[in-house]
Amino acid sequence: MEDAAARERIRREVVSFARRDGRLSHRHQTAWDVHHGAYVVEPDRDVRSTSIAPGWTFDVEAVFGRRAPLVVEIGSGDGDAVLASAGANPDVDHLAVEVYRPGLARTIVRASRAGLANLRVIAADARMLVDRALPEASVRELRVFFPDPWPKARHHKRRLVDDDFVAAAGRVLEPGGVLRLATDWQDYADAMREACEGAEGLESLHPDSPWGPRFEGRVVTRYERKGVALGRDIRDLAFGRPARR
């Protein structure tokens, strides 16, 4: 009865990602098996395969074997942005968060080829990770670039970036840390900005403008190119947790 109740709870749970086929090809499964120990973080799970069990905490120093600033990118896809950032910033640790395992497999293959020691990947529900698994004040930058916009009004409840997510982001950011967001959907951008402006303890890094300049540390991905090709404005937001005075 307890297992059945847990399965029903998971079935009814509102998540911010679509459940795509996560099966790996033979080539990607081989790469996953070979590089798993070096790159993949495996949390304790609840019922769902991307869940994180209550009580599990991401131990940053144990995972990377050092104390360094941490960048967390949510929805890393095939890894274009996070790989570029990790390669350009070897003194900064990077965690790629993605539920689509083929994307993570491609990321770790490319990370291995580049010899990156400052990158790890985790297949996890981002909301669970930020809500309860990342330690307080442990993240230098939390990045969410072009999350699923769930454009239909009835699906807006599935959008990742909302008041609760932004509040949780403020908890995990270290003093001076930054939440960086980007989207090509104007109504989502408006909702993101409203959530950030209403969050206690976060301040816009660009208070004189509704939008920030394009984050120069973000490589142009296919999602951004697609938005530009469709004539959409790319909206960047950057909100920080004030440094201690």
Phi, psi of 32 (to 5 degrees): -60, -45
73 carries a ligand binding annotation: yes
125 carries a ligand binding annotation: yes
Residues of the chain with confidence (pLDDT) below 50: 1-2, 9, 11, 16-18
221 carries a ligand binding annotation: yes
How far apart are alpha carbons 176 and 237 in whole angstroms? 16
141 carries a ligand binding annotation: no
148 is catalytic: yes
Q: Which of 33, 91, 93, 148 is catalytic?
A: 148
pLDDT in tens, 142-198: 999 999 999 999 989 999 999 999 999 999 999 999 999 999 999 999 999 999 999
CATH fold, domain 36-241, is Rossmann fold (3.40.50)
CB contact burial 155-178 (16+ within 10 A = b; e otherwise): eeebbbbbeebbbbbbbbbbeebb
136 carries a ligand binding annotation: no
200 carries a ligand binding annotation: no
How far apart are alpha carbons 151 and 22 in whole angstroms? 23
pLDDT of residue 22: 61
Number of Cβ within 10 Å of residue 96's Cβ equals: 30
pLDDT of residue 157: 94
Angle between helix axes 186-197 and 163-172 (nearest 10 degrees) is 50
183 carries a ligand binding annotation: no
188 carries a ligand binding annotation: no
Residues 44 and 56: beta-carbon distance below 8 Å: yes
